[in-house]
Every structure is written in structure tokens, then in C-alpha cells.
């Protein structure tokens, strides 16, 4: 019996193999084509708005270098716009906790990602307002676009003529409050005055470089350096913020609480604070800079001396004395104000800064 292997036509075998590979590739291409058609059909009736649309007003520090993806940094960053239609959808590139306000009504979206559909309760014809806010620090909004319902249109929101910036630590960020950034005194103050407002603040951050807490996630640089950056200290690498363009009308600085906890030498703190205020002035030539004495009165003597001395050469540098603003019941833990405490702070600040805006 002949047990030799049958003769194989190599050319025919290779041709058949090649044909099968081509069939597989064509099937994959057909599948992708059908998927693209289905996706296109699903959105053919919708209006997809790119993040660089001029009708979207971004407040805070945003990376806008990619026209297809705008990325917010620092807590309390937000954007405003107006639209028509029964619903609006956000296209988000990554998970984030956000507050959404439609016609002033607040909705919290936890771990929002992908396409986030928002229905409009008031279905009467006309414009609706939309505001989307990062809930807390490290909540970074990465907006890839907005999808409007059929025949919907986007319009610019009414921009505020004024802008107040708040620089600080966990207190300015609204740590230990019920709603994070929007429970904090900067947000409450800005909204009450109907001004644009930004919070350049981070939990655990001192003013002074070289001092930091030991817990996981504690910033390893001080605000003297972090204020110059586009991103919060938890981002590495970081890049410098571009201070060209519009400047705040008022800048409120609340720093020193963490420096005191970290036992920063008083002389070093005074030198650092003095230079920090000069750096702010260099970046914002015409802004009123208002320095808050920390609510626990840390470094109150040093801060008084700094503002008094620097005020001789800078007529737009002011001090805000916070003694007796809060009592023991206004704190969660002796350091961080409660929601009610933040409201008290806001009420005091509104009275102080309003004359400098209007």
C-alpha cells in the first residue's frame, strides 16, 4: 500500500488561502460600513455641536488646544449656553461628577460618561439655559460636543461683565460640604452677584513650597507654584497657565490655614505671601486683590503687616478681617465650615466686594 503523502498543488493552496483572507477582510469592512451607517442614521436627525462653538462660554481654566475636546481643570470650572428643543445631550470623554442646571433646576450626575441625555421639563417653545459644573476637585470635564434634538439650536448665554476669582485650599473648595464646589462660599458669592467666578483651590495645599501633608493625594507643591499652572497639582506633567487675555475684576485670597498646620516658619510665610501677592499683581495689573485673614486667624499678625506694607505701593491691595464671622457651630471639624458657615461667609463677602463691582 502506498503511504506517501498526496502531491499538493502549492500555488493552488496559496491562492485559496489568499482568497479566504480577502473574504474575511471584506466581511469585516462590510460590518464596519454597516455600523457606521447605523451610527450615522441614529444621529442624522440631531445637531452635533463641537466644543469650540462660539455659543459656549467656558469659565475657569480649560485646555482648549484640541478643538474636538475641551478639558477643564481645577474645581468649580463650568460652562454656559442656551438652546432650543426638548432635550440636550452632552458627549463626555471620561467619567466625571457634574452638576447640570437646566433653566436653573439642579441635577447631579454621578460618574457621568459618554452620552449624557438631559430632558427639559419646561417644554414650552423658547430658549433654555444650560450650565454644567465640575462637582469637586479632580472632577475634570472633558467635553467632546453637545447633541441637540431635531431642529434644536444653540445660542450664547448672557455673559457677565464682571469676574471674581477665589484662591485657596480645601475651605475655598467646599470640602466637607454637602455639594462640594457649589456649596462653597466662592460659588455662593459669585452666583449671588451674578458674576463669573473661578475657584483656584485644592484640598491640603499650603501657600509655601516644600511643605505638605503625608496622606495619599496631598499636593506636594504650594499655591505659590500651583497658581501658575493650567492643571491642579495632582496632574503630572503640568504646563503653565496663559494669563493673557481677560483678567478678574476681583481676586480673593484665603491661604495660611494649612501652612499653620504644617508649622511653616512665620518669617518664611511672610516672605512667600508677599512675593505671591506681587506675582498676582504682575499677572493681573488692574484687579482688586483682597486678602482674607484665615477663619481660624492663622498668621493674622503677619498678614496684616504684609497688606499694610504692600498697600503703600499697591492701592488696589486690600485686607478683609474675618474675626467673629463664624462661631464654633459653623464648623464641621473646627477647620472646615458647614454649609451654613459658607453661607455666612458669602453674605459677608457680598457686602464687602459689591461696591467694587457696581
Question: What would the pLDDT profile of 206-262 be if each residue is shown by its tens digit?
Answer: 999 999 999 999 999 999 999 999 999 999 999 999 999 899 999 999 999 999 999
Cα separation of 42 and 340, whole Å?
47
Residue 215 CB-density burial (10 A; 0-12 exposed, 13-18 middle, 19+ buried): exposed
Q: How far is the CA of 18 from the CAs of 23, 28, 133, in angstroms?
A: 9, 16, 55
- Please write the tens of the pLDDT for every residue from 142-188: 999 999 999 899 999 998 999 999 999 999 999 999 999 999 999 99
- Is the C-alpha dihedral spanning 351, 353, 355, 357 positive or negative? negative
Q: Lowest mean pLDDT: which of 3-17, 62-76, 164-178, 313-327?
A: 3-17
Q: How far is the CA of 267 from the CAs of 212, 230, 256, 263, in angstroms?
A: 18, 29, 13, 11
Residue 292 CB-density burial (10 A; 0-12 exposed, 13-18 middle, 19+ buried): buried
* Nearest in space to 177 (alpha carbons), one of 203, 200, 198: 203
* Nearest in space to 133 (alpha carbons), one of 205, 60, 66: 60
Cα separation of 226 and 95, whole Å?
24
The bridge status of strand 57-63 relative to strand 70-83 is antiparallel
Element (H, E) at 145: strand 142-148
The β-bridge partners of 318 are 290
Q: Lowest mean pLDDT: which of 36-45, 163-172, 272-281?
A: 36-45
Give the chain's domains with CATH numbers.
49-155 (2.60.120.260), 163-356 (3.40.50.1110)
Which residues, 6 or more positions from 73, have their beta carbon under 8 angstroms from its beta carbon?
A: 60, 61, 62, 63, 140, 230, 231, 232, 235
**Number of Cβ atoms within 10 Å of the Cβ of 50:** 15
Amino acid at each position: 500500500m502506498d503511504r506517501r503523502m498526496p502531491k499538493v498543488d502549492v500555488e493552488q493552496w496559496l491562492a485559496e488561502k489568499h482568497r479566504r483572507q480577502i473574504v474575511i477582510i471584506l466581511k469585516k469592512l462590510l460590518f464596519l460600513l454597516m455600523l457606521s451607517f447605523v451610527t450615522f442614521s441614529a444621529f442624522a436627525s440631531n445637531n452635533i455641536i463641537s466644543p469650540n462653538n462660539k455659543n459656549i462660554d467656558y469659565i475657569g481654566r480649560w485646555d482648549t488646544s484640541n478643538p474636538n475636546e475641551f478639558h477643564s481643570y481645577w474645581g468649580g470650572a463650568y460652562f454656559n449656553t442656551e438652546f432650543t428643543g426638548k432635550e440636550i445631550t452632552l458627549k463626555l470623554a471620561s467619567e466625571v461628577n457634574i452638576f447640570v442646571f437646566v433653566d436653573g433646576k439642579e441635577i447631579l450626575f454621578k460618574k457621568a460618561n459618554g452620552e449624557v441625555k438631559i430632558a427639559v421639563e419646561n417644554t414650552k417653545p423658547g430658549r433654555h439655559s444650560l450650565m454644567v459644573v465640575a462637582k469637586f476637585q479632580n472632577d475634570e470635564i472633558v467635553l467632546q460636543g453637545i447633541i441637540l434634538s431635531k431642529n434644536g439650536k444653540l445660542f450664547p448665554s448672557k455673559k457677565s461683565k464682571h469676574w471674581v476669582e477665589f484662591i485657596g485650599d480645601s475651605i475655598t473648595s467646599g470640602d466637607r460640604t454637602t455639594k462640594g464646589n457649589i456649596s462653597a462660599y466662592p460659588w455662593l458669592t459669585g452666583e449671588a452677584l451674578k458674576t463669573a467666578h473661578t475657584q483656584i483651590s485644592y484640598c491640603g495645599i499650603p501657600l509655601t513650597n516644600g511643605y505638605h501633608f503625608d496622606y495619599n493625594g496631598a499636593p506636594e507643591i504650594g499655591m505659590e507654584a500651583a497658581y501658575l499652572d493650567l492643571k491642579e497639582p495632582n496632574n503630572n506633567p503640568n504646563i503653565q497657565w496663559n494669563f493673557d487675555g481677560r483678567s478678574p475684576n476681583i481676586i480673593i485670597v484665603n491661604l495660611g490655614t494649612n501652612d499653620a498646620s504644617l508649622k511653616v516658619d512665620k518669617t518664611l510665610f511672610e516672605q512667600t505671601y508677599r512675593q505671591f501677592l506681587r506675582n498676582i499683581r504682575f499677572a493681573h495689573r488692574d484687579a482688586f486683590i483682597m486678602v482674607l485673614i484665615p477663619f481660624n486667624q492663622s498668621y493674622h499678625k503677619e498678614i496684616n503687616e504684609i497688606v499694610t506694607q504692600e498697600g503703600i505701593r499697591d492701592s488696589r491691595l486690600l485686607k478683609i478681617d474675618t474675626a467673629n464671622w463664624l462661631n464654633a457651630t459653623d464648623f464641621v471639624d473646627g477647620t472646615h465650615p458647614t454649609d451654613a458657615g459658607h453661607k455666612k461667609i458669602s453674605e459677608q463677602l457680598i457686602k464687602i466686594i459689591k461696591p467694587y463691582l457696581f
